[in-house]
Amino acid sequence: MSDEILVINAGSSSLKFSIFVDADDTPEVSGNIDGIGQHQPARIVLKDAAGARLPTHGKGEVADHGQALLVAIDAMAAHYPDHSVKAVGHRIVHGGADLAEPTVIDAPVLAVLESLVPLVPLHQPHCLNGVRAAQAAFPDAMQVACFDTAFHRTMPEINQLCPIPRRFFDEGVRRYGFHGLSYDYIASALRRDHPALAAGRVVVAHLGNGASLCGMRNGRSVATTMGFSALDGLIMGTRSGHLDPGVLLHLLDRGMDAAELSQMLYHRSGLLGISEISNDMRVLLESDDPRAAQAVEVFAASLTAHIAAMAARLGGIDALIFTAGIGENAAPIRARVCEGLAWLGLDLDAAANDSGQERISTADSPLAALVIPTREDLPILHAVRAQLAARG
Ligand code: ADP
């Protein structure tokens, strides 16, 4: 028997999970369940410490993230029957205006997290289903919440205000920002490997299915492109990003209701909406359909403009970091963006960009550009270890 930490990450229709043993930052077993609540058989992928696929049984439909966790526990137990979970770390989308640090989940904390559901009705319930299922499955384990919003609680109030009547700010309508676990990891990787850059003005571009920028000074969030919701800012796979609010008023006037608008803005917009082909950047880059080319063009132009705006907020920029699926893998997107920022002092090293180097700017480029793979599970793991150590 060995003591384990389970890290879980409940996305909108997926659950990622990893088991860590002792002081190792490489998971002993990890996996992903996709297609949760989609009224179709869910898909489960399970991998060992070396990243090799482990066999799993077909799972049928998985109704919610609580059931998904039980499926994950079963699948892992088939390969690792002798382990005991000592603590569970949860990625929680929203910690509100006050929860800025990883927090051990007890009944009052769970009540606070429940009270935030109206701010993120599409995402927070999945996270909380995961918490309740983990509490039931491991009643003696410590449960720790780590918030996607927490990293941005250092933003000055002017970067949290929405330009609508002030009273809404006090009611919780403010810019919270998301992807905080990814930014936390990148900030710590920069401190470890590039301390001079970490101390400066850095824009991090987290470009996955969801995408945002974080402007950091000395490793702390100053501003971010996602705001009250995870819809604002950059164009994403299926989400609109920044959109003229007049378009929403027009669509409401034409008879669309809030649920239809939400469905459109979260699931049928962005790269998918413009291309009418796919939300997947790989597919779009390989397609010769002009709509795919246009979607890529709009994505890159929006990204470039937002990076420049973020540099202005920081009063200059010393480094640009690309991360997550598109940031780590889509060299043509990085090239377009870097070329579009040549006027800011970014001198792209095209060979380094194409061959997967960490530094993709030339050695004497005034503005450094780097590719750093993100690990959203690590800040959670480290927070859980710290809580375990603090409680003896
Ligand atoms: P999530 O937000 O779901 O965690 P990821 O960080 O995995 O998303 O990023 C998914 C995005 O990364 C998709 O648009 C996918 O097409 C893109 N991507 C992954 N690999 C490549 C690649 N080799 N070239 C271009 N895009 C890629």
DSSP string, 119-185: GSTTTHHHHHHHHHHHHHH-TTSEEEEEETTGGGGGS-GGGT--SS-THHHHTT-S-----HHHHHH
pLDDT digits (tens, 9 = 90+) for 182-241: 999 999 999 999 999 999 999 999 999 899 999 999 999 999 999 999 999 999 999 999
pLDDT digits (tens, 9 = 90+) for 238-255: 999 999 999 999 999 999
Q: Which of 3, 106, 148, 318 is catalytic?
A: 148
Q: Average pLDDT in the 152-174 region? A: 96
* Pick from 14-28, 174-188, 216-230: least confident: 14-28
CB of residue 356 inside a 6 A radius of ligand 1: no
Q: Is 341 exposed, middle or buried (0-12, 13-18, 19+ CB in 10 A)?
A: buried
Cα–Cα distance, 371 to 359 (Å, whole number): 6
Query: Under CATH, which architecture does the 4-147 domain have?
Result: 2-Layer Sandwich (3.30)
Indicate whether 38 pLDDT > 90.
no
Ligand 1, atom 8, residue with closest C-alpha: 208
- How far apart are the CA of 122 and the centre of ligand 1, in A? 22
* Pick from 94-103, 116-125, 147-156, 333-342: least confident: 116-125
Rounded mean pLDDT of the chain?
Answer: 94
CB of residue 237 inside a 6 A radius of ligand 1: yes
**Ligand 1 closest atom vs CA 211:** 2
Structure confidence at residue 263 as a pLDDT band (50, 70, 90): very high
Indicate whether 1 pLDDT > 80.
no
CB of residue 325 inside a 6 A radius of ligand 1: yes
pLDDT digits (tens, 9 = 90+) for 280-305: 999 999 999 999 999 999 999 999 99
- Per the DSSP assignment, residues forming a β-bridge with 17 are 8, 31
Where do you find CATH 3.30.420.40 in the chain? Answer: 4-147, 195-371
Cα–Cα distance, 101 to 95 (Å, whole number): 9
Mark whether 148 is an active-site residue: yes
CB of residue 262 inside a 6 A radius of ligand 1: no
pLDDT digits (tens, 9 = 90+) for 82-140: 778 999 999 999 999 989 899 999 999 999 999 999 888 888 999 999 999 999 999 99
* CATH classification number, 195-371, choose in 3.20.19.10, 3.40.50.2000, 3.30.420.40, 3.40.50.10140: 3.30.420.40
The model's pTM is: 0.95
Q: Would you state the pLDDT for residue 2?
A: 62
Q: Would you state the pLDDT for residue 121?
A: 84
Tell me how many degrees the CA angle 307-308-309 measures, rounded to the nearest 5.
90
